[in-house]
Structures are given as structure tokens and as C-alpha cells.
Structure 1
Amino acid sequence: VDMAGNGNAYVVSPDTEADILIRSANLNHALDGDTVKVSLYARRGGKKLEGEIIEIVKRKRMDFVGTVEIGKTYGFLVPSSRKMLVDIYIPKEKLAGVKHGQKAVGRILDWPKNASSPFGEIIEVLGDAGDHNTEIHAVLAEFGLPYKFPQDVEEEANALNQSIDEKEIANSRRDFRGVPTFTIDPADAKDFDDALSLQKLKNGHWEVGVHIADVSHYVHPNSILDEEAVERATSVYLVDRVVPMLPEVLSNGVCSLRPNEDKYTFSAVFEMDEEGTVHDRWFGRTAIHSDRRFAYEEAQQIIENNHPEGNKAGFYDAIRTLDGMAKKLRTARMSKGALSFDKKEVKFMLDEENQPTGVYFKVSRDANHLIEEFMLLANRSVAEFIGKAKSGQPSGQTFVYRIHDDPDPTKLQDLSTFVRQFGHDVRLNSKTAITRSLNKMLDEVKNTPEANMIETLTIRTMSKAKYTTQNIGHYGLAFDYYTHFTSPIRRYPDVMVHRLLQHYLDGGKSPNYDTYEALCEHSSEREKAAADAERASIKYMQAVFLEKHVGESFMGVITGVTEWGVYVELVDNYCEGMIRIRDFRDDYYVFDSKNFCIEGESSGRIYQLGDPMKITVKNVDLERKQIDFEPCYGD
């Protein structure tokens, strides 16, 4: 069930070509996301496919976040989600001490046949609406994400043996502690998943070590820690905080590859030449000692040859050598048809109270690409090592892949038609032509007002990458075999990959893939929830930021046109808001669904996707994370 804002819904079914329209009177208590059985009505000439819901097979969720309104003997939870259109009735004895106007999580317990609202209880009081922490916790609760660890999980993490055992290194690990090793991460990072080492070999080649935190040494299958990590499946990166997959004693402590500390790692080690060609590879458990941590900015200065300390920075030559190899690896990938998305990310500058004081753009540069290329090399090599038999055919061994399907041809056609108005030509006659012309377009739009919109539309044209045991390759990276091996501190699939890799290195038989497939599916779902929560936290922060600018005018680009309004994204800060059709005061505008534009009845003036537009911030509703603009008719 996919709820629309007007109370009607659509049911998406594999058995029908079109979605089935369900009018609000025929929903029979179904809610957004529920799995249902539908009885179809006879279709009348050319009309939409319609039906009614006759059974709710499975509820998507029973818990909802909202604001509580309290009467004399009962209360209501008014859900925050725009897709949840009914309030939940809460009898007085089930209000759990929540105060009028506070935010809380309510659970539906029952929905009597003739009741207009479901009956429920308050299961968690989040706090006062509008309070920063309350709003962030509400975002997490909305997507079913936790924000604290149960006590038994913390206790198990704190009880772990954190010492480094010399006997273990001597017997079952390759010792890299004497090899020059460093990390490159964002300046504010605390969880260092990966480190690089570099040393020259006697034959003139280079040995490049990609060293990854050995999380599976500490987190054992079926332990309390493991069960919690499975459930979370990913760390969640919100606008002002990280909600880690593993307790901090692990994620920022024992597993984090901090400088000047001995650490256990799981490594992919490559023998390479300066052309980026891999001559040999080795996988296994190791021990490292990171000599230095670099922020991306610092590494970038070294690459550009303008580091303030010059070669005294140490690792100066190593970083430049690795950068040269990374550029070769990247060129080879691009020539095989990989896509190059270098989308600018918006970050908020926050004060001590976590209030936004401004925005800045995060751009990927050579230092980011250096790390990215070696992580891609490690991920691809591990997937090939297990997934590809010596004959070059698939090995058939159970493994966790990261796959990315080809884009939908219809969506590509729509994108091609749309970008033509900006002078871009997306060719659809072959796989290589598609990626070449997409890369050319993505390069050409950089630094134009419509850049973010075109990049976003291009990403939406693509399939969604996901985890599975059934390999079909990775379209965007142009790899036949790909997995996630390099971030086990923050992604559970990487932990599974470490365990499977060690199992196969020990000569183990291929395990049953059903268990792994179920975990893959769960991990993909959690990844989506985390991304949705991240977006919601950004939306909230945009609203807080623009609340201070109500009445001010900005330049924007139209990013969406619907029958009820026009969405505009501001060029300076990527904040998006909506102009309701009724707020266009110079004419009466009508929506043209074929061409995704609105047209003025008397003036013939057209507003369409991609048009630049000056707006004034009209209103901000923090509770609903809604930003309203109006056209700026002044100069």
C-alpha cells in the first residue's frame, strides 16, 4: 500500500500492469506499506484500475512517532509521517506520563471494525517538540532505528579482551608493524576502518597493504554483540551525530586503527607496479601499527605538493606514489564503463547547541579518490577470489555480494529527453555509449546552477545497489564481482564477508546460502532506513536553518512540479522548499502532467523542471520539516 496525501492509496502488485487505486472509504484500516489482498472492480473504459482491500496480510509497522494531544479522559497521538493519515486514540491509563504537546512513540494495539481511529499506547516519551535532541530521536524512531545500546550489549563490549597477544601474531598473523602505515580520513572521523601501507620490493614493484579493522576477531557469531550488530546492520550518519553499529568501545576504541597503537587487522595485500597493474595478491589476518593519521585536506596538500612541512610530513613520497597508482586504477575503471558521480554534499556548520550557523560543500578530490580506488580494489579482489573459479567461471561458493543492476531503459529514455533542453546528449545505443555520454554530461554540468538537480535525477535513473548471495555484477562500477570488505566497523555485510573469507582461507566448505540471503535482505533494508533517516535529519536541519531567513530572497532551481505546487532547491545551500500553486499571484496556473510543468492560463508563462527561479522564504514548519517558498516578484 502506498498512501497518497489526499487519503486515497495505490496498491503496487506484481500481478497487475498498473497500480490499483484504492479510495479512502475502501482501505478497510490498511496503512502505508502494509501487504494486503485486493478485490478488483470491473474496469470501465479507459479509467484507472480500482479496487478495495479485503484483507491485511501483514502490517508494515505498529509503532509511530507523533505529537500527543491530551483531552480529559483520553489522548491522541498525531503522527508526524505524511503517509500516516489517522490519529491513534490513547486511553488515559496508557499515556505513560506524556504531557500535552510532547513528542512520543505510540504503538497500535487494536483497531475495532467500526472505529475511525486505531487504539494504542505510548511506549516511549521522546521529549518536547522543537527541542533539538527530541527531534533527532524522533527521526531515528520514525525509521525504527535505535539511539542507545541495551545494557547487556555494552557490558559484553566492555568485557572484551583488548590486549594484543604476541603469541597470536607469531602463530597466526602476518606482522606489518614494521611497515610504514597510515590512515586518511575526514578530519572529524573517530572510527578508522582502514589503513594503507607501502613498501618497495626487491623486484622493483610495490607492496600495497589495504588493512581493515579485524572486527570479526572481537564480534563472534551468535554473541549478544553480534545479534545487536545484525539488527542494526549499519551505522547511521545523521546531520549532527553518528549512531554506531557497534558500541563505542569497539567502533572508536579497540577496532579503530588509531595512530601509534598496535591493532589486529584483516588485510588485502597487493604486489603492484606504478602503472597500477596487480601482479600478485594475498589475503589474511595481520597486525599493524599506524604511524600517522592524515585528514583528507592534509593528504590533498601533499598530492598538490604544497604541504606546509614539505617532505618532513613523512609519507610524502608514499602518498604521491599511491596517488599515481590510484589515478591509473581510476582511468582503467572509467575505460571499462564505470560511472563517475562526484556529487557535492552539503554539510552544516553547527554551534555548541547543534544549531546550524551556515553551510559548506564537501567535494571529493584526489585524496578521497586515492582511498576510494584502493578500497574498490580490495573489495573487488576479495569478491573475485571467492566468487571466480580458476577457469574464469563463477565458483558457486556462497558469498555476500554487493550488486547493482543495469538502469531501467524507460527511465534512461526520460532522462535523455529531459537533459536535451540543457544541451546534453545522452546516447542510448550501447552500454558503453550510455556510460560515456552520462560521464560527459556529469562533467559538463559541474558548477552550473542545475548541477545538483541533474546529478540527482541521474542517480534516480539508476537501480539501487543491494546485498545478495546471487551475483549479477555491479553496473555503476563496471565490475563483474564486487563486495563490501573495507568497513566492518560500520556495515554488517563486511563482517559476514570477513568471516566467509577466513572460512574459505581455512579450506572450509561452502555454507548454506539461505541464512546469508536473509541477512543480505535485512542489511539492504536497514541501509535504506539509515539513508532515509539521514535525509530526514538534513531536512530538519534545513528547516531550522531557513527559519532564521523567513522573508529573505534566494536564487533557486525548479526540482519538481506537481499538481499542488512547484519544488525549488536553493543554489547556495541546496535547501528545498515548495511554492504552492495558489501562491503564484500573477496568473492562474494549470499543471501539465505530460511535460512536468505549470502554465499560466492568460500569460502562457511556463515554469518547468530545471528553470532558475528567485523565491522568498514564506514559512517554515519545524514539526513537519516543511519549508514554504513564494515567487519573488521584486527585482
Structure 2
Amino acid sequence: MLQSKTFVKKTKAGRVQKVVREHYLRDDIPCGAASCSTCGAVEHPLSADAAAILVVDTNVVLHQIDLLENPAIDDVVLLSVVLDEVKNKNLAVFNRIKALCSNKARRFFVFTNEHHRDTYVKEMVGESPNDRNDRAIRVATRWYQSHLGENVKVLLITNDRDNKRKATEEGINAETVESYVRSLAQPGLLDLVVVSTSGDVTMEDVEDLRPSKKKVIYNEHKPMSEITAGLRCGIYHQGKLRVNRYNPFEAYVGSESIGDEIVIRGRSNMNRAFDGDIVAVELLPQDQWHESKSFIADDDEDEEDDVHLAPNNADDAPRKANPTQSTVTSSADSVSSRPVGLVVGVIKRNWNSYCGSLEPMPMPAGSGGVAHALFVSKDRRIPKIRIQTRQLGNLLDKRIIVAVDSWDVLSRYPSGHYVVLIENDINTRPFSTQVLACLPPLPWTLSPEDLANPNRQDLRHVRVFSVDPPDGSNKYAKCNFDLQWLWHIRSISIYTDVCSLRADVERLAFSVIWEMTPHADIISTRYTKSVIKSCAAMSYVEAQARMDDSRLVDPLTVDLRNLNSLAKIMRHRRCERGALTLASAEVKFEIDSETHDPLDIGIYQIREANQMIEEFMLAANISVAEKILKHFPLCSLLRRHPSPTKEMLEPLLRTASSVGLNLDVSSSKALAESLDNAKAVYFCSGDLTFSEYYHYGLAASLYTHFTSPIRRYADVIVHRLLAAALDIAKLPPLFQDGPQLTGVADNLNYRHRNAQMASRASVELHTHIYFKTRPTDTEARIVKIKANGFIVFVPKFGIEGPIYLTPKGDKGGDWVVDEVHQRITKPGTSISYAVLQTVMIHMEVVEPQPHRPKLQLTLI
């Protein structure tokens, strides 16, 4: 059946063009229900014994995605009209619901109602697109009811009152999200239900006992049409809002339109914007551009001075009880050349799920055992979030995840809902059966088919060895005696029993093989899947000991020394090209084998063996990047490190200047020579020009990740690209879809950052356990001056945190800050502190609130 739509439109050239769109309808699209005997479909995603089949509308998907992802919700029909709307409104939610539909363990079914003869509806005269789509949802639900008969209950789930009313009038079973979830008799699910924004006023009554309970706290955001017009004529300025690390009531918006950062002071001027939001800013009159002192914000109630691992991108700035008042004003303010502004609208939200703990509100639980609580995020840049929960007693002393739903102008805090007991968005659930089905059965051994594979080279006769950290990570270098150097990477997905390189055990690998001169000049490069057999598995310490022991002259030790000689030449050349060598504080714990408590803490020692492995890893990654880009210039997954902007380097330059160092930051080579940090990210080669591929930190024109497929999914993708480039395998469909590959790259960057944060959280936990029974006096180095104290770095432990010089709540007292020389002085005395000065501090774990320990640093 064919439907057509004809209309006219005006082209850019000014001509009027007639457009005819044909819409084909079918009557053989299956319903997906196992109880249906009419459709004759092979697969039936919807269960035959389902209590009800749910048809959800667009707003339910957009706002209740956390609920839909819960395993308790199943047998759900997603109409194509709903998916199209969701894709246009929120791509992130669309990807999550699409993943649910693709997961065979979940019973979600996509019904293409827009192409079914009995469910397609035409837009009526005077009907809005939204009303037409709501009608299409009702028509499809009614069709399901009549198609499946009385034996199967079909429910339309909608929170739209008008849509629910019309559905009821048309004889369709319809329920709100909350009423349906209540019928499941699982109280925990109710915490996942996003309450409507109309409840904000009620919550304001709860949290604010002032006489004027409906006071407008924030300004309304400007409509997008006004923002667009204001940006075009220069009234407003667009940029990403970044909240101050040590003061959450101060933020900055980098604006290309004025070529400078705009300072936003106070929560009222931030106007409900979150860190990372793309915002529109209006500049304040220039007489209000005051330069305020930079304080470490302080509040006894909000864990103001947590100490954290350094460097750490999560901010530990404290909060004030009244977040709408600016806490950074000072009588010593002076007119500033930096523009100051206020947020007039949010162009793109950056709301995420946040980890933290609950702070109960002083009021009894409401009906149905609903309690109100304030969620305090571990990330101090995030304001408190108010939630409702029926599990307050169970959640009070735990780390939980909360998602933000809305923030009304009448509400002091944003509204959110409890999601789950995890942190850093890392899924701790067991792997699905589909994932486990990809793994080979254990015990795994090399098969005759592996050896007979013409695309796999047998290298078991080559002397191969591995060099790893003590925990058996993923860095492996191998060589033979005739200067044909090989880099082998494990390419299978079971770490302990299949992938780890162990002595005298055969393994499958993906190899980059170079022929090199003794001067580290590459004569030829080839790539192959291979079979290897390691003759030794060494730690970095063991490899270093072999190289340092002059009495050892066995072939294995000689190979190590040869590799190290080549690595030194390669490293020297990289540094000559401008590669940066920046020290980082990697904390190492000695763990008790029985109690798993930390026994000792220190900085991880880097040896020549580490640098040797690093050089060959980098060389392999660069070689593979060149290979895959040559074959797939538009769909290669690469890694780049953009050059830092002048604004990023300004704090470094100011600090260096205060101690008499002049740094040249015109290039990575110049900075490396002066110093002897934008973040590296994954990207799809088709998204950028070749000049943007550059990796600033490594001074490499091309770079990717190939050498660790066990711990990085990016390396798995690169393996598949390399296999396709060698004609060993076909190019997967993913790489032929540019937007999808870009989405994968974005997700890799997101997951990489979360993994870093999880690692730092683990270090922070072990640090608290260690210092809880070991108060310590030690040396620290001042790294940043504030008006009421300074930030110190503890080299011995790799820890950074604030030191207060004034009582809490005193914004600077008598101390005077010299911004030019980065020094803080107490007038009338000889007491002063400067950047990079060494001070003695006391470190101990305190617990100002139950179950919220923190590491406190005080000046001795």
C-alpha cells in the first residue's frame, strides 16, 4: 500500500520546488508477541506469559530511561514513532534505549508502526506534530489490544494527562508510570521514577521554612530564539561553563567571541547551570568587573577540605549552606580586566549521573514511607541534589548514584532520583550470556586449525619473552638475536587462562615486526597474526636486575640490553622532536595478603625497563596508526592530543615566573626543553583534518592504541582495522558508519576518564585506611596560593590538599596575597609562604560526619 505526501518548499536559490514523498505501508510486520499465532514470526521477543505488554510514549522513554533499564521492566513495545522522536530530542537516551532493544536478554521489541497499514496515521488539518504522534501511539496500542485479544493485557504507559484521558475514552488501558510501578509491589523501583517538575513547589515547601515559600530564587532562562538572536548580534556569548576547582561558587566560561574567559560569581549568576553545560552569558556592566581574592571555600557541614590524589580532575571544593549567595566577595576587590557575566540560558545540558551520599532532611517521611534527602556529590562542583526515596535507612551510609531530572526557578536545589549503588558509571553486574558465549571453552589449548591458518605466522622458534609490572599488565617486548625486533600483543579475551603470557606456554598474538639497524633505524615493517611461545615472563624489577648485573651474559639478558639500547635511541629522537616528559604521582601500596589492608605507601618507581617497554609500545602504536590510516582514511580510530591553549598554560607560566623560570610554550618541543596538558582523546579519522591528528605530548603526527586489547576496547577496534587492512578479515559494518564510530570514540573517552576516576577512588580509599592508624608528619610542597591558605603536594605519597591559615569561615583575615610573586604574607611579621616552598605538615584521618572520613592536612 502506498501513501504519498505532496508539498512545496522554497530552495536556497529562491525557487519554489514541488516535493512528493512516498510512504510504503505493509501488512506483514510482526507484533513480536510469543502468544500471537497470526503473525507467524520466527522470533518472539515478548514473553508468552507476560503479565502485561507495555507500550510507552516518548516522554516516558526520555525521562524514565533509568527505570526502563531496570531488569524488573520487561515486555515493552517501542514504537518507531517514539524512537524517531527520542532520537531527535536526546541522542544519548536514544542510544541507551537502542541498546536495550538489541539486548536479547531483555524483552524489548521495536514495532514499526509508521509502516504498518493498520497503525499508520496521517496528520489531520490543524493538528500539531506532537498531537499527531500521540494519536499514532494510541492507534498502535489499540491495534495491539485487538490483535492479541483479551488473553493478553496491553497497557499504554504515559504521564501525559491529556493523552491518558483520550486513551481511556477510546477504550485503551492506560496508566501513569508511577501507578504501574506501584502495581509491581517492588518499592525500590519507585526510587527510579522521575517525578514531574510540578512537584518542585511542594519540595520547596519542604526544604524552605521561610514565610515566602514560593520565592523565585533564579531567573528564568531566555528562550532559545532570543538566545540565538543575542548570540548573532553580540549581546550574549556562548561557551562551556567550568566550575572552580576549589570554590564551587565561581565558574568560568571560555568565549571565542571575546577571546577571553568570562568569570561567573555566585550560584545566582550561574543560574542553575552545571559544570560542563554549554551556556549563553550576558556581560555585566564593566564597573562590576571586580577582581576578587581566590579563596578555598569553607563550610563545616559539607566536608570542605577533603584531601585527594594528585593530579585529580575531580574537584574537592566545599559548599556553603546558602548556595545562592556568592562567597567570594572581598573588601579588597579591585577593578579587573577580566569580564564578569551571568548565565541567561543553557544551550546544551551536561547532566550526568553523580556519585555521592545522602544527607537526611529534618522532616518525617511522607505518605507511603517516602523520605526526602539531599544528595551530596563527591564532585564538589556539583550542587546538592534533592531526591525522594523509600530506602533512606538503607542508603544513608552508602555511596550511591543519583541522576538529575530538573531544576526549577523556585527551587534552591535541583531535583533528581536515586539510580543504583555504583560509582563512576562502571557496571559491576556479571557478564551476559552473549558475552560469555564469545569466549573459548576452558581449558584452552592451541588447535591444529590455528597452526594451519595461512594468515597466522608460526614464531615459536623465535626467542620471545615478556616484561610486565608485578600484577601482570599488558606490555610485552620480544626479540631474537639477529636484530629483527618483534612486538607481540595478545589478541584473545580471557586474561588469566588464555591471554597472559607465561613461560613455555603457547599463545596467539598480533605482531608488529620491524627490521632495525643497531641505530634504531627501521628498514622494514610488517604485521601478522602469529603463534608465539614465551621463554621467560619477567617483572620490570627482574628485567632491570638482569640488565644491571654485568656478570650475566646469557642470550636473554643480552637481548634485554640490546632492546634497551635501541629504546634509548628512540626516546632521544622523540624528545628531539618535542615529546613531553612529564612526571606524574603514581601511588603504590604494599597490601597485606590476608587482610588486604595497606601496609606501606609510596610513589611508584620508574626504571629503565619501564621506559624500554614504553618506547616499543609507542613505536608499535604509531606503526599501526600509519597502516590503518593508509587503508581506511575515513574510519580509522586514532588518538590525538590537542595543543594546549594559552589560557591553559597561564597558571603554569605564572607559577614558574614567580620563582624566576621563563618557560617557552610556543610548541611542545619548546615546552619540553623549558620544563623537561589538554587531554589525549580518541577520534574517528573522518571527523578531522590531517593537521588535527597530531599528538602533542608524544610529538607524533599519527598515534593510536594497539598494544593492550585486554584492558582497552579501543585496541580491539584497532586490531579489527589492522586485520581488515591485511585482508585477514572483512571490515566490520561499524566502520562503515561514520556517526556510529564517532559515538564509539566518544564513549571510549568517557569510559577512559571514568576508569581513571575509579582508580583514583581506589587509591583514595586505601590512603584513608593507611593513615587512619598512622598519623604522619611529613614534608609538602606548596603548589598554589589562596587568600586564606594554600594547596600543597606531598611528594612522598602523591597526595594534594588544602592547608588553612585562617579559622574556618574567615576569608583571609590579615593575610596578604602577592599574585605576581605567588606569595602570602602576614603583615607585621616575617611569616610568609610562597609557591614551591617546602613546609612541614601533619596528616591524619578525621571523621567530621559519620561514615565520611577524610584526610586532613594541617601546618606544623
TM over 0.5: yes
**Once the 2 structures are TM-superposed, how far is the Cα of residue 624 of structure 1 from its aligned partner?**
5.8
Deviation, structure 1 residue 186? 0.8
Q: 1:397-416 maps to which residues of 2 (within 5 A)? A: 397-409=634-646, 415=652
Q: Tell me the residue number matched to 1:195.
A: 476
Q: Please say if residues 568 and 578 of structure 1, whose CA atoms lie closer than 8 Å, have aligned partners that are also in contact.
A: yes
Q: CA deviation at 1:168?
A: 3.4
**Within the alignment, does 1:90 sit opposite 2:388 as a pair?**
yes
Distance 2:706 2:252 in 1: 39
Q: Could you tell me whether the CA contact under 8 Å between 2:385 and 2:415 is conserved in 1?
A: no
Kept in 1: contact 2:806–2:813 (CA 8 A): no
3-state DSSP of counterpart to 2:476: strand
Question: Are the counterparts in 2 of residues 266 and 286 from structure 1 also a CA contact under 8 Å?
Answer: yes
Deviations 1:539-558 (A, max 9, x none): 343333333344x5322211
Residues 9, 24 of structure 1: 8 Å contact kept: no
- Paired position in structure 1 for 2:627: 385
| Counterpart residue type for residue 378 of structure 1 | A
Deviation at 1:576, TM superposition (A): 2.7
1:327 to 2:551 alignment? no
For 1:450-461, list aligned pairs within 5 A: none
C-alpha deviation, 1:178, in angstroms:
2.2
Match of 2:773 among 545, 548, 569: 548
CA contact 1:88–1:108 (8 Å) conserved in 2: no
Alignment of 1:8-407 (within 5 A): 9-15=251-257, 17-21=260-264, 23-25=266-268, 27-38=270-281, 44=287, 46=289, 48-55=339-346, 57-69=348-360, 72-73=364-365, 74-81=371-378, 82-91=380-389, 94-95=390-391, 98=394, 100-109=396-405, 114-124=410-420, 126=421, 141=423, 143-152=424-433, 155-157=436-438, 162-170=444-452, 171-189=454-472, 191=473, 193-200=474-481, 205-215=482-492, 250-305=494-549, 310=552, 315-343=556-584, 345-351=586-592, 352-387=594-629, 396-407=633-644
Q: CA separation in 2, counterparts of 1:55 and 1:474?
A: 32
Q: In structure 1, what is the equivalent of residue 744 of structure 2?
A: 519
Over 3 Å counting, the alpha-carbon distance change for 1:612 and 1:587 in structure 2 is: farther
Match for residue 419 of structure 1 among 630, 638, 656: 656
Question: What secondary structure is seen at the aligned counterpart in 2 of 1:567?
Answer: strand
Higher Rg of the two aligned structures: 2
Change (3 A) 1:119 1:524: closer
**Contact 1:68–1:104 at 8 Å: present in 2 too?**
no
Distance 1:117 1:384 in 2: 50
Counterpart Cα distance in 2 of 1:617 and 1:145: 31
Shift of 1:401: 1.8
CA contact (8 A) 1:68 1:100 kept: yes
The 2-side partners of 1:118 and 1:72 are apart by 21
Structure 1 residues 563 and 147, CA, compared in 2 at 3 Å: closer, same or farther? Answer: farther
Cα deviation, residue 45, structure 1: 5.9
Of 692, 697, 700, the match for 1:476: 697
SS at 2:530 equivalent: strand
- Report the CA distance shift for 1:90/1:9 in structure 2 as closer, same or farther (over 3 A): farther
| d(CA) in 2 for partners of 1:363, 1:7 | 39
Deviation string 1:219-263 (CA, Å, 9 cap, x unpaired) is xxxxxxxxxxxxxxxxxxxxxxxxxxxxxxx23332333333222
Q: Quick one: percent identity of the two aligned structures?
A: 25
RMSD over aligned Cα, in angstroms? 3.5
Q: Offset at 1:68?
A: 5.0
Contact 2:788 2:813 in 1 (8 A): no
Unaligned runs of 5+ residues in structure 1 are 127-136, 219-249, 390-394, 440-461
Distance in 1, Cα, partners of 2:814 & 2:855? 22
- What is the alpha-carbon distance in structure 1 between the residues aligned to residue 598 and residue 450 of structure 2? 48
Are the aligned partners of 1:555 and 1:570 in contact in 2 as well (CA < 8 Å)? yes
For residues 105 and 430 of structure 1, the distance between their equivalents in structure 2, rounded to whole angstroms, comes to: 41
Task: Give the letter aligned to residue 503 of structure 1.
Answer: A
Contact 2:464 2:480 in 1 (8 A): no
Deviation at 1:21, TM superposition (A): 1.6
Q: Conserved in 2, the CA contact under 8 Å of 1:276 and 1:325?
A: yes
- Give the partner amino acid of 1:69: P
The residue type paired with residue 483 of structure 2 is W
CA distance in 2 between counterparts of 1:626 and 1:593 reads 30
Aligned to 1:195, the other structure's residue is in SS state coil
Alpha-carbon separation, structure 2, partners of 1:99 and 1:323:
53
Aligned equivalents of 1:342 and 1:57: distance in 2?
A: 36
Alignment-mate amino acid for residue 83 of structure 1: R
Q: In structure 2, what is the equivalent of residue 222 of structure 1?
A: none
- Superimposed CA distance per residue, residues 69-103 of structure 1 (whole angstroms, 9 cap, x where no aligned partner): 37531141431322233242324xx3276154344
- 1:337–1:478: 8 Å Cα contact kept in structure 2? yes
Per the alignment, residue 455 of structure 1 pairs with none
Mapped to 2, the partners of 1:296 and 1:275 lie a distance apart of 24
1:467 aligned partner: 682
Letter in structure 2 aligned against 1:184 = V
The question of whether the paired residues in 1 share the 8 Å contact of 2:271 and 2:342 is answered with: no
Kindly indicate whether the alpha-carbon contact (under 8 Å) linking 1:211 and 1:267 is maintained by their aligned counterparts in 2: yes
CA contact (8 A) 2:603 2:798 kept: no
Q: Greater shift after overlay, 57-66 or 558-567?
A: 57-66
State the distance in 2 between where 1:25 and 1:106 align.
23
Distance 1:431 1:69 in 2: 50
Give the letter aligned to residue 557 of structure 1.
R
CA distance in 1, matches of 2:657, 2:283: 40
Distance 1:164 1:275, change over 3 A: same
Q: Is the 8 A contact 1:89 1:117 kept in 2?
A: no
Shift of 1:481: 1.9
Q: Which residue of the other structure, out of 841, 845, 860, is the alignment partner of 1:615?
A: 841
Residue 378 of structure 1 deviates from its aligned partner by 1.0
Question: Residue type matched to 2:349 in 1?
Answer: K
Q: CA separation in 2, counterparts of 1:482 and 1:465? A: 10
- Structure-1 separation of matches of 2:813 and 2:411: 44
Query: Using a 3 Å threshold, how does the CA distance of structure 1 residues 299 and 428 change in structure 2: closer, same or farther?
Result: same
Does 180-189 or 2-11 show the bigger shift? Answer: 2-11
CA shift, 1:148, in A, is: 3.8
SS in 1 for 2:496: helix
CA contact (8 A) 1:543 1:620 kept: no
Task: Please give the per-residue CA displacement for 1:506-527, whole angstroms capped at 9, x wherever unaligned.
Answer: 1978845433333222222222
Q: Contact between 1:587 and 1:601, CA under 8 Å: does it hold in 2?
A: no
User: Are the equivalent residues in 1 in contact too, given 2:586–2:798 (CA < 8 A)?
Assistant: no
TM superposition shift of 1:422? 5.2
2:681 is aligned with 1:435: no
Shift of 1:343: 4.2
Q: 1:618 to 1:15 in 2, by over 3 A?
A: same
TM-score (norm 2): 0.57
CA deviations over 1:139-165 (Å, ceiling 9, x no partner): xx1x22233434436633556584433
Partner of 2:718: 497
Contact 1:194 1:257 in 2 (8 A): no
Q: CA deviation at 1:104?
A: 3.0
Distance (whole Å) between structure 2 residues aligned to residue 194 and residue 571 of structure 1: 27
Which amino acid is the alignment partner of residue 799 of structure 2?
C
Residue deviations 1:444-465 (CA, integer Å, cap 9, x gap): xxxxxxxxxxxxxxxxxx3322
